[in-house]
């Protein structure tokens, strides 16, 4: 350590606790451009001898040869003390590093200060952007004995030199450059000492990194002075006294700081002052800092010392958001926050301001305004004591309930759970637990304890959890071995979600709403904590669930609409019709029902179209041709569910594809809702159907399939309504095929079967191959679906089906060949019709579910002409429910059962039902 001691001795004058403005024997010299007295230090060598000064600097400096004191103290100041103005006169502005990042931005800051019509103004500035990081990097390089610290120091010099050349001229430029080079030389010597020692104390580090604020404050004050305003700058190390309490926290000494401020102001009675943020001094007059992001804290402390009327924090965002807008695109700017709300949100990671900035101003009811320096038209967020009425205003100017103000998250945490029956009723257990945590220096973010005292769990940063677990294992080794404690368990990969709002304390049901939203988003909660103040409710969730949880609760509490991300599978006849219906109703759904349905993707068998914000449905066909990409179902699902800021996802399968139906179980397991008219899943193998329905019942994920039976008719929902209200189904009988309904409704007079089938095919009622309808398979699938809904465990093969396709025509190679040969078999059906008419009956193709006898069938049956089934027209469906309540007079549902419009309408109805379940007004 001898070389280090020598180095410190040689450069001790750089660490003098007295600021430079207090150095003795200064010579007075008058500036030619300002009516102020400046001081030239006797130890200052000629500026011209500094090799790194450019020619312009040497020219300016050779004329002035001056050096400014820290405070530019005027010799004209009256010997009598000048008192600070009364409370409420001063306005405080704080500008962060981004705001003073270059010369243009510094000029912009000066303009903002000049346009403030306050009687007195205090401006607190950070170092230029990246400079604090550069200064820490200097220390790290020097400690590591990396000689590149010298070139890094030259980069710091050059950054400020070029900025000054662009901003200043004349004596002000010479004054600043003289001070800059003096400081750089001091830093070079100090860094050399650190390089030799291979170590820097905290005091050394604080002294080095604080220079950025000194330089930015001086430059800004000179720019303001150029506009003719009497402005001085303050090195807050002369005024602000703090007591370090830990390696990352200090406590201001307000009384001592107030006295020093009065003394400083008596010698520097400016109405506009530019003060350094971030830096301060200890009671021993040793330079220190307010630690990382401490400029906000500086502004709040100075606001309290000056008894300011308000403190404005200028940043690069429009204000405080209801949630992180990078995670929740619908996050809105909060017009107001209470001190307590801002405090909570800062603690839980919201980018509001320094967590301790609230305390100084709250004591004197000084409001803090968060404003965007790059968007002066934005009013920002006001943090203050709440008024009696404090409603949030949405983008349409409507008042919204404000009992929950915002949401914040903390990632990269782990839960530590200490549990055991031996903890219950044992005094000092919690003290021992957290004493062990304190001993390893870990930070406890949240604590949750069961009322039975059986377990205590708490969250700590993941990087600290191993040390915490080891300390607890060691501390409680005897209790663990004896069985009084069962385990010290670590649950990694956790995140905290905090819900904040002052009015939560007086509003019943907030917790219920919060956990309901999380449950519907399929989020599992690992731990819960709520203080008695009820300003926040904190939950711990899996890290991978955090963003989805944030979006879910924000949507439930804060958005004025239910937002659902949709993926449309199969843009064929039904899918395309549905997309057009969605397009036509989108505006009405938003305005009248507060539902926002966003189609994030459309996929067919070959091509898919994806969007991050929602496809323009008025152009989806055109966009699919222009921007479509090769269809990939896995990529499609990942995009619709994950590449956006919407918590609720639904996939709408408009195909009749068995392969697509096979995805439903996986989609539901991932928390994706499913809506479909595809009958294949519910009429497929029984074991797969039962597995699918069991998963759907166990989760909060919804599976709607009303349109699988009867297109848009409420058949499934009617059946469920009967069962859920305790009725017992005896028999379901109906005409389930719109195609076959049309054929038999029009098979009258002299018309033949083949003639009516051709007419139905021409009208688009049949499938491209009419045999798909005439075989009865489609009706059989609908019968199976209703049978299984009624509780019967039947397979498709259990249902006998009477096919209307003549046996010889099953072998036809094409539908054209089939249609050509069909007239040869008209006689068979004509004979059956004649027999029925002779007895006053009509023929109808029906499906039957016989619940009592646990069977079903699909066949051609005869009905009397006064029977409801004989009264149909067109392609109508009709279904009769015979139950214990409706035994003598069956409950009948009748209406159009075929066609793209009604089927798409049934799917649309299911989507809106899903929206209602997710929180939209019903």
Pairing of the two strands 562-569 and 648-653:
parallel
Supply φ then ψ for residue 792, to 5 degrees. Answer: -85, 140
**Are the C-beta atoms of residues 60 and 177 closer than 8 Å to each other?**
yes
Taking CA 167 as the corner, what is the angle to CA 166 and CA 172, rounded to the nearest 5 degrees?
120
Q: For position 508, what pLDDT does the model report?
A: 81
Indicate the domain borders of the chain.
90-315, 404-559, 562-703+910-918, 715-898
Crossing angle of helices 738-746 and 753-763, rounded to 10°: 130
Q: Which residues pair with 304 in a beta bridge?
A: none
Tell me which of 3.20.20.70, 3.30.2130.10, 3.90.100.10, 3.30.70.20 is the CATH number of domain 404-559.
Answer: 3.30.2130.10
pLDDT, tens digit, 9 for 90 and up, residues 481-508: 888 888 889 999 999 999 998 877 667 8
Side-chain half-sphere exposure of 722, counting CA atoms within 13 A: 26
Q: Which residues contact 642 (CB under 8 A, 6 or more apart)?
A: none
Beta-carbon contacts of residue 700 (< 8 Å; ≥ 6 apart): 519, 520, 521, 522
> Which pLDDT belongs to residue 71?
36
**Residue 624 neighbours by CB distance under 10 Å:** 18
Q: Rounded to an integer, what distance in angstroms lies between the CA atom of residue 446 and that of residue 528?
A: 9
With a CB cutoff of 8 Å and minimum separation 6, the contacts of 485 are 418, 419, 420, 422, 423, 476, 479
What's the mean pLDDT when you consider all of the chain? 85
Query: Do 138 and 156 meet the contact criterion of CB atoms below 8 Å apart?
Result: yes
Coil, helix or strand for 804? coil
Annotate 486-539 with DSSP letters as a single string.
-EEEEEEEEEEEEEE-GGGGG-TTHHHHHHHHHHHTTPPEEEEEE-TT-SEEEE
pLDDT at site 699: 78
For 204, half-sphere exposure in the C-beta direction (CA atoms, 13 angstrom radius) is 23
pTM of the model: 0.64
522, 544 contact by CB (below 8 A): no
What is the distance between the alpha carbons of residues 125 and 277, in angstroms, rounded to a whole number?
A: 5
Instruction: Output the pLDDT for position 471.
Output: 92
Closest to 302 in 3D by CA, of 63, 123, 163, 144: 123
Helices (H), 651-776: 658-661, 664-669, 680-683, 686-698, 715-724, 738-746, 753-763, 771-774
Q: Is 782 a catalytic residue?
A: yes
How close are the terminal C-alpha atoms of the chain, in Å? 77
CB atoms within 10 A of CB 215: 26
The pLDDT score that the predictor gives to residue 44 is 34
If residue 847 lies in a helix (H) or strand (E), which one and from where to where? strand 841-850
Cα–Cα distances in Å, from 2 out to 10, 191, 806?
12, 17, 109
Element (H, E) at 864: strand 855-864
Indicate the length of the chain as a whole number.
922
- Name the fold adopted by 562-703+910-918: Rossmann fold (3.40.50)
3-state secondary structure 331-357: CCECCEEEHHHHHHHHHCCCCCCCHHH
Q: Is the dihedral of CA 121, 124, 128, 130 positive or negative?
A: negative
Give the integer Cα–Cα distance in Å for 429 and 476: 10
Provide the CATH number for the domain formed by 715-898 in this structure. Answer: 3.30.360.10
What's the pLDDT score for residue 419? 86
For residue 224, count other CB atoms closer than 10 A to its CB: 25
Q: What pLDDT sits at residue 763?
A: 84
Q: One of 463, 782, 855, 887 is an active-site residue; which one? A: 782
Q: What is the pLDDT of residue 452?
A: 58
Q: How far is CA 662 from CA 521, 642, 674, 692, in A?
A: 23, 21, 12, 10
Residues 6+ apart with CB under 8 A from 261: 84, 239, 305, 306
CA 888, CA 730: separation in Å to the nearest integer? Answer: 12
Helix (H) or strand (E) holding 113: helix 103-115
**In Å, what is the CA distance from 159 to each residue of 687, 703, 714?**
72, 61, 72
Q: What kind of architecture, by CATH, is found in domain 90-315? A: 3-Layer(aba) Sandwich (3.40)
Average pLDDT per consecutive 10 residues, the chain (922 residues; last block may be shorter): 35 36 33 31 32 36 33 38 71 95 96 94 96 95 95 96 96 95 95 93 91 97 95 96 84 95 94 96 93 86 95 92 85 89 81 81 94 93 75 42 81 91 71 89 87 80 93 88 86 94 78 84 88 79 92 75 86 94 90 86 96 91 94 95 74 95 94 94 94 86 92 92 95 94 90 93 86 93 96 95 94 93 92 92 95 96 93 90 94 87 93 84 52
pLDDT tens figures, 238-284: 999 999 887 678 899 999 999 999 999 999 999 999 999 999 999 99
Longest dimension (CA), the chain: 131
User: Cβ(200)–Cβ(142) under 8 Å?
Assistant: yes
């Amino acid at each position: 350590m001898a070389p280090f001691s020598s180095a410190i001795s040689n450069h001790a004058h750089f660490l003098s606790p007295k600021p430079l403005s207090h150095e003795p024997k200064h010579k007075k010299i008058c500036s030619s451009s300002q009516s102020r007295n400046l001081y030239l230090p006797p130890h200052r060598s000629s500026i011209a001898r500094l090799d790194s000064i450019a020619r312009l600097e040497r020219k300016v400096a050779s004329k002035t040869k001056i050096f400014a004191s820290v405070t530019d103290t005027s010799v004209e100041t009256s010997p009598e003390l000048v008192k600070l103005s009364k409370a409420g006169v001063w306005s405080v502005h704080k500008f962060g590093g981004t705001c003073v990042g270059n010369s243009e931005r510094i000029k912009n800051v000066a303009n903002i200060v000049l346009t403030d019509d306050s009687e007195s103004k205090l401006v607190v500035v950070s170092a230029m952007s990246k400079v604090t990081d550069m200064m820490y990097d200097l220390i790290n390089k020097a400690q590591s004995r990396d000689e590149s610290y010298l070139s890094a120091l030259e980069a710091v010099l050059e950054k400020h030199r070029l900025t000054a050349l662009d901003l200043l001229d004349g004596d002000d430029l010479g004054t600043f450059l003289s001070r800059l080079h003096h400081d750089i030389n001091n830093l070079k010597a100090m860094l050399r000492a650190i390089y030799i020692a291979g170590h820097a104390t905290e005091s050394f580090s604080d002294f080095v990194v604080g220079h950025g604020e000194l330089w930015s404050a001086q430059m800004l004050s000179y720019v303001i002075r150029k506009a003719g305003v009497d402005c001085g700058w303050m090195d807050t190390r002369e005024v602000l006294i703090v007591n370090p309490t830990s390696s990352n926290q200090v406590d201001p000494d307000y009384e001592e700081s107030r006295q020093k401020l009065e003394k400083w102001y008596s010698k520097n009675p400016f109405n506009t002052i530019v003060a350094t943020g971030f830096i301060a001094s200890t009671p021993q007059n040793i330079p220190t800092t307010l630690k990382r992001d401490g400029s906000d804290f500086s502004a709040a402390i100075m606001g309290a010392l000056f008894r300011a009327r308000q403190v404005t924090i200028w940043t690069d965002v429009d204000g405080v958001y209801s949630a992180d807008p990078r995670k929740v695109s619908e996050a809105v700017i909060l017009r107001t926050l209470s001190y307590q709300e801002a405090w909570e949100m800062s603690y839980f990671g919201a980018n509001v301001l320094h967590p301790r900035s609230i305390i100084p101003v709250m004591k004197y009811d000084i409001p803090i305004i968060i404003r965007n320096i790059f968007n002066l038209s934005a009013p920002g967020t006001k943090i203050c004591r709440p008024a009696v009425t404090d409603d949030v205003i949405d983008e349409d100017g409507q008042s919204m309930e404000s009992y929950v103000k915002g949401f914040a998250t903390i990632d990269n945490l782990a839960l530590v759970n200490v549990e055991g029956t031996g903890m219950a009723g044992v005094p000092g257990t919690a003290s021992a637990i957290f004493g062990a945590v304190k001993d390893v220096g870990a930070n406890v973010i949240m604590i949750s304890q069961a009322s039975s005292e059986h377990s205590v769990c708490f969250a700590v940063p993941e990087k600290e959890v191993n040390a915490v677990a080891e300390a607890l294992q060691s501390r409680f080794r005897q209790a663990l071995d004896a069985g009084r404690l069962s385990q010290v368990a670590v649950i990694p990969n956790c995140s905290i979600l905090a819900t904040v709002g002052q009015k939560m304390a007086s509003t019943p049901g907030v917790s219920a709403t919060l956990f309901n939203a999380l449950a519907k988003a399929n989020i599992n909660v690992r731990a819960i904590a709520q203080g008695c103040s009820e300003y926040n409710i904190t939950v711990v969730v899996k890290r991978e669930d955090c963003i989805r949880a944030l979006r879910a609760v924000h949507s439930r509490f804060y958005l004025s609409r239910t937002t659902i991300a949709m993926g449309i599978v199969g843009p064929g006849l039904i899918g395309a019709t549905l997309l057009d219906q969605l397009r036509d109703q989108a505006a009405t759904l938003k305005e009248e029902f507060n539902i926002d349905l966003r189609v994030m993707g459309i996929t067919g068998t070959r091509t898919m179209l994806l969007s991050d914000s929602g496809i323009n449905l008025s152009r989806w066909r055109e966009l699919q041709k222009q921007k479509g990409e090769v269809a990939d179902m896995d990529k499609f699902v990942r995009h619709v569910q994950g590449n956006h800021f919407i918590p609720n996802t639904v996939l709408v399968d408009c195909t009749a594809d068995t392969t697509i139906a096979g995805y439903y179980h996986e989609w539901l397991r991932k928390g994706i809702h499913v809506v479909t008219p595809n009958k294949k899943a519910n009429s497929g193998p029984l074991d797969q159907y039962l597995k699918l329905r069991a998963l759907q019942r166990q989760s909060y994920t919804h599976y709607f399939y009303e349109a699988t039976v009867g297109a848009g008719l409420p058949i499934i929902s009617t059946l469920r309504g009967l069962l859920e209200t305790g009725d017992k189904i005896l028999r379901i009988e109906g005409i389930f095929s719109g195609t076959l309904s049309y054929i038999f409704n029009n098979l009258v007079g002299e018309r033949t079967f083949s003639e009516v089938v051709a007419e139905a095919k021409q009208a688009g009622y049949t499938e491209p191959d009419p045999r798909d309808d005439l075989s009865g398979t489609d009706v059989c699938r609908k019968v199976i679906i209703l049978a299984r809904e009624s509780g019967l465990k039947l397979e498709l093969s259990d249902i006998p089906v009477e096919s209307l396709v003549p046996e010889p025509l099953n072998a036809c190679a094409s539908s054209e060949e089939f249609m050509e040969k069909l007239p040869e078999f008209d006689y068979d059906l004509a004979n059956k019709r004649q027999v029925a008419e002779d007895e006053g009956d009509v023929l109808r193709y029906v499906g039957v579910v016989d619940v009592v006898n646990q069977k079903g069938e699909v066949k051609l049956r005869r009905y009397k002409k006064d029977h409801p089934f004989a009264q149909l027209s067109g392609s109508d469906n009709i279904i009769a429910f015979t139950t214990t309540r409706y035994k003598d007079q069956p409950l009948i549902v009748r209406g159009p059962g075929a066609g793209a419009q009604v089927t798409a309408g049934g799917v649309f109805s299911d989507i809106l039902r899903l929206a209602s379940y997710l929180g939209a007004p019903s």
